[in-house]
Structure 1
Amino acid sequence: MVSTLGTPPSVKSVSPNQSLQPLTSRVNSQGHLEIGGCDVVELVRQFGSPLYILDEWTLRQACRLYRDTWARCYPGQSQVLYATKAWNCLAICALALQEGLGLDVASGGELYTALQAGARGEELYLHGNAKSAEELAMALEVGCTLVADSLYELQQVAALVTPERPARLLVRVNPGIDVHTHEYIRTGQTDSKFGIGQWQLPEVFDFLAAHPQLHCVGLHAHIGSQIFDLQGHRDLAGVLAQIWRQGLDRGLPLQELNVGGGLGIRYVESDDPPSIPEWVEAVATAVRQSFTAAGLPLPKVLCEPGRSVIGPAAVTAYTLGGQKRIPPSEDLPEGRLYVTIDGGMSDNPRPITYGARYTALLANRPEAEATQRVTVAGKHCESGDVLLKDVLLPNPAPGDVLVVLATGAYNYSMASNYNRFPRPAAVLVNQGEVQLILRRETYADLIRQDILPERLQR
């Protein structure tokens, strides 16, 4: 079922991944930031902070742009899969399914969550370079398509299948394409833990041909994440068309071509990613031209966006605490003003992991002139726990509500309990209504799995 949710009034008509703020953002009559018709300051008052705030309209619009642009631009069949590793929870999986997307899952836990959200096996694709036997069995049991990452995995699956329960799978190939993004999120270069190298493909194809209960219906490749340049995606189509021909020559019943995802989003003013329609149009054209030039019928094309679907749709709200001023010195001519927040690397590990940059504003004074250069420090016992370095804010004060934009992707999904911090709550906002989709963890939750041996008890 595809949602028929209407367009909110005054919504911005822009590709979500090109917008710094959720599409429904505005300043309300109170002079506060409003998202999805809900006052962010009031949301913090009601649900506490840190708080993930997810704008339903922005998320749905991203899903629709992918889905509808493929239908318009590509003459063959197409299917969009939401890459749930970006943010996997029941509500988000259910919403993506409602918009007609399938789900790309990367673990047994993500698979279980998707199933609990109502996904059917045929809507699910399981990734991973080191799937366990339990995960493989679980996927086979529910009819999920496996994206095989190695010959070893294929050998494992061959030992699990039966004539009554064959495996439906794609082969993940390593295309040997290097792109300009952080080294931790490049996946298509030759030296990568992901995918089957082209030098090993003949052996893999022969193994598949010898095991008819392994129904290899297609190929998969992914070149990385947070990518702005379209050329790598164009090059990928040509590489995959050549490999597709090799698979057909060995008798494989190839039908589906999964071109991965990777489209970047705007985190700071200087970021300039292609729009979702521009990305789809470029990839659709490249696939059509590459397969036509190779004399091949057009495959059913799948893509698996994550960041560009969920990233721009969410923000994280914090409450500002104390400040610390570092005086000017030879090494630091202007000194530095630290402002603290009630969260940090446990709810957003991307700055300390990737050096990720963000844009922020004050929800209670979003239109005030930003004249004060500050460094926003988290509260964890780690010197690297700095969320924003040398950003401009409008004279921040304790109690202000700081909103960090574009935090939907890889914030909640990579959140931790470092220093035994409870993970934040998350709310879904839409047209003035707010719904809790993730409860805030409690201290009791933190010790739920702990066991205190009797001999240590006091």
Structure 2
Amino acid sequence: MCCCFQKMEYVIKKVLEKNLLNDDQPSVELFDVDYLNGRLDSLLEAFPEPFFEHAMAVKANPLRCVMGIARDRGLGAECASLQEAKHALSLGFAAAKVVYDSPVKTVKELREAIDLGFHTNLDNELEIQQVADYLKEYQGELPVIGLRINPVVGAGDIAMMSTAAKQSKFGLPLLEDTQDRIGKIFKDNSWLTGVHIHVGSQGVPVDKFVAGCERLFQFVEYLEALVPGQIKTVDIGGGLSTSYTEDKEPEEFTYQLYRTYLQERVPMIFSGKYRIVTEFGRSLFLKAGTSLTRVQSVKEWIEDQNPIILTHLGTNQFPREVYLPHIWRHRFSLYTADGDKKEGNEINVDIGGPLCFQGDYLAKEVLLSHPTAGDILAVHDTGAYTMSMYCRFNSILASGIYGYKKINGEIELECFKPRETFEECMQFWGFNKPNQIN
């Protein structure tokens, strides 16, 4: 299923044939639809039971065409803001399959989420009280309302991607001396019918995901004794890691292997007693994406220093990679202006982006065939957490985005999103003149 260089060479030639990479659009995003469908196949085959509901993490890739593929395969949508939740609703996701997980919600947002029928996971005691107050006047069928708990199974290799350390900002920490206090919250609020965890994502070993589920279901058993039958939905989160340095998904993070571990250590998940929700994102989308950018120029002035290639992608689309290069690093390959893969004569280069500050390097010490102006740089594994993190600094227009798939043996391109226009960019910066407030 990997997007090999040979296939990518053919896709790039299609992009050039359609004149999609040019001075008006010097960078484009490509999304492999067949690859995504393969990942969805893998997930659904690993967890085929009807009581499993898989919600794609919208924050990983909010493109409407991509979300539509997930919707059509029966997935729900895990949303980190009310805007994401309403985005999913507007695309035809069933409200009950929209999981609203924001850690910071206003009273108005909480009420609107309930009114719209979203599966809402609450974060803290104040939100619980605010919902309880609203339910005193609420008329209608109540959707799933859950509480996020932190199973406190520890952090992975990347602290900022780990949400189950003791000091996590998410949910209520489940410790020996807090369990009864959390249990009382469920006992006092019989409308709380769900419980939720999310251990983290990239850099978190599979064992921590399994340990989080194990601790979660120990708590569910505790709740069954305290409030029998109240819990109907258990959201085990998502976050399985993938690889930015290999062209294939890591064997240790396959969905089937994850299921095997869960069956061994948390068999209660598969009892059918509960609706089980998952929230996968990066592991579904990452390797479906490739970013292309023209090499605008090459600087080779300083002896014994790496040449600097200047491109149209940097912090504008890859803020994590620029600011934390020791953690986030993609694979790169270089193609000629005609789309042929460049090989041999490799040197270390530094890849500079288009933004106006010295730190705007997509990566340094990248081994590439000797680059020249007009070459095409491919940044691999960009299908998650790149375009969704787009930065407005310097008002660089966001790239056009194109899906591709094989039809009758031929690669076909389709536009998911045209390049941002100047007018769309300017809308972000407000009015030409101040509007008077009455």
TM-score category (smaller protein): 0.7 to 0.9
Letter in 2 for 1:447: M
Q: Is the 8 A contact 2:269 2:276 kept in 1?
A: no
Percent of aligned pairs with the same amino acid: 21
Instruction: Report the CA distance shift for 1:402/1:97 in structure 2 as closer, same or farther (over 3 A).
Output: same
* Among candidates 42, 48, 55, match of residue 81 of structure 1: 55
**Aligned pairs for 1:414-425 within 5 A:** 414-425=389-400
Matched, 1:240 2:216: yes
- Tell me how far 1:426 sits from its aligned partner: 1.0
Q: 1:147 to 1:426 in 2, by over 3 A?
A: same
4+ runs of 1 displaced by more than 6 Å? none
Q: Distance in 2 between matches of 1:88 and 1:80?
A: 16
Matched, 1:448 2:427: yes
User: Once the 2 structures are TM-superposed, how far is the Cα of residue 61 of structure 1 from its aligned partner?
Assistant: 1.0
Aligned to 2:324: 354
How do residues 310-325 of structure 1 correspond to structure 2 at under 5 angstroms?
310-325=285-300
Residue 112 (structure 1) aligned with residue 49 (structure 2): no
1:378 offset after TM fit, Å?
0.3
Deviation readout 1:211-246 (Å, 9 max, x if unpaired): 33x2x2332111111136221122122211221122
Asked if the contact 1:87/1:409 (under 8 Å) is kept, the reply is: yes
Q: Which moved more, 1:183-192 or 1:263-272?
A: 263-272
* 2:72 counterpart of 1:98: yes
| Residue of structure 2 in register with 1:222 after alignment | 198
Which of these residues, 232, 237, 262, is aligned with residue 239 of structure 2? Answer: 262
Provide the residue aligned with 2:35 in structure 1.
58
The equivalent residue for 2:188 is 210
SS state of the match for residue 414, structure 2? Answer: strand
User: Conserved in 2, the CA contact under 8 Å of 1:228 and 1:274?
Assistant: no
Alpha-carbon distance in 2 for matches of 1:290, 1:326: 64
CA distance in 1, matches of 2:405, 2:118: 32
Q: Is the 8 A contact 2:300 2:306 kept in 1?
A: yes
In the aligned structure 1, how far is the partner of 2:187 from the partner of 2:398? 47
1:177-188 equivalent positions in 2, closer than 5 A: 177-188=153-164
- Report if aligned partners of 1:347, 1:424 keep a CA contact under 8 Å in 2: no
Per the alignment, residue 439 of structure 1 pairs with: 418
How far apart, in 1, do the equivalents of 2:272 and 2:88 lie? 33
CA RMSD of aligned residues (A): 2.6
Unpaired stretches in structure 2, ≥5 consecutive residues: none
The within-5 A match list for 1:116-195 is 116-161=90-135, 162-195=138-171
Deviations 1:91-140 (A, max 9, x none): 12211011111111111111121111111111111001111223222221
| Aligned 8 A contact 2:400 2:418 in 1 | yes
The structure-2 alpha-carbon separation of the partners of 1:59 and 1:142, relative to structure 1 and needing over 3 Å to count, comes to same
Kindly report which structure 2 residues correspond to 1:380-419, keeping only aligned pairs within 5 A, or say none. 380-419=355-394
Indicate if the aligned counterparts of 1:171 and 1:219 stay in contact, CA closer than 8 A. Answer: yes
Shift of 1:179: 3.3
- Residue 331 of structure 1 corresponds to which residue in structure 2? none
* TM-aligned CA distance change 1:227 to 1:285, over 3 Å: farther
**In structure 1, the residue corresponding to 2:238 is in which secondary structure?**
coil
CA 1:284 to 1:137, structure 2 compared with 1: closer, same or farther past 3 Å?
A: same
Structure 2: how far apart are the matches of 1:341 and 1:391?
Answer: 14
Give the TM-score normalised by structure 2. Answer: 0.87
Per-residue CA shift, 1:337-390, capped at 9, x if unaligned? 110102211122121243210111124232522612111110101222111211
Distance 1:201 1:228, change over 3 A: closer
Q: TM-score, normalised by structure 1?
A: 0.84
User: What is the alpha-carbon distance in structure 2 between the residues aligned to residue 186 and residue 136 of structure 1?
Assistant: 26
Tell me the secondary structure at the aligned position of residue 410 of structure 1: coil
SS for the counterpart of 2:340 is: coil
Question: Does the 8 Å CA contact 2:353/2:360 hold for their aligned counterparts?
Answer: yes
Q: What SS does the corresponding residue of 2:413 show, helix, strand or coil?
A: strand
Q: Distance in 2 between matches of 1:160 and 1:279?
A: 43
Distance 1:279 1:107, change over 3 A: farther
Tell me, in whole angstroms, the C-alpha distance in 2 between the residues paired with 1:39 and 1:319. Answer: 15
1:231 is matched with 207
| Cα drift, residue 203 of structure 1 | 3.3
List aligned pairs for 1:365-380, cutoff 5 A.
365-366=340-341, 368-369=343-344, 371-380=346-355
Following superposition, the deviation at residue 291 of structure 1 comes to 6.7
Measure the CA separation in 2 of the matches of 1:179 and 1:290: 25
Q: Distance in 1 between matches of 2:189 and 2:124?
A: 15
Q: Secondary structure in 2 aligned to 1:413?
A: helix
Q: Is the 8 A contact 2:399 2:419 kept in 1?
A: yes
Give, as a single letter, the amino acid of the residue that structure 1 aligns with 2:232: Q
CA separation in 2, counterparts of 1:142 and 1:382? 44
- Other-structure match for 2:25: 48
Amino acid at match of 2:157: T
Task: State the match for 1:7 in structure 2.
Answer: none
Cα 1:63–1:272 shift into 2, 3 Å: closer
User: Which secondary structure does the structure 2 equivalent of 1:344 belong to?
Assistant: coil
Distance 2:182 2:361 in 1: 46
Q: Return closer, same or farther for 1:179/1:197 CA change in 2, 3 Å cut-off.
A: closer
The residue that corresponds to 1:281 in the other structure is: 259
- In structure 1, the residue corresponding to 2:245 is in which secondary structure? coil
Which residue of structure 2 lines up, in the alignment, with residue 69 of structure 1? 46
Q: Which moved more, 1:248-257 or 1:102-111?
A: 248-257
Structure 1 runs not aligned, ≥5 long: 1-11, 13-18, 329-333
Amino acid at match of 1:319: R
- Measure, in 2, the Cα distance between the counterparts of 1:129 and 1:200: 20
- 1:210 Cα shift? 2.8
Structure 1 CA distance for aligned equivalents of residues 62 and 236 of structure 2: 21
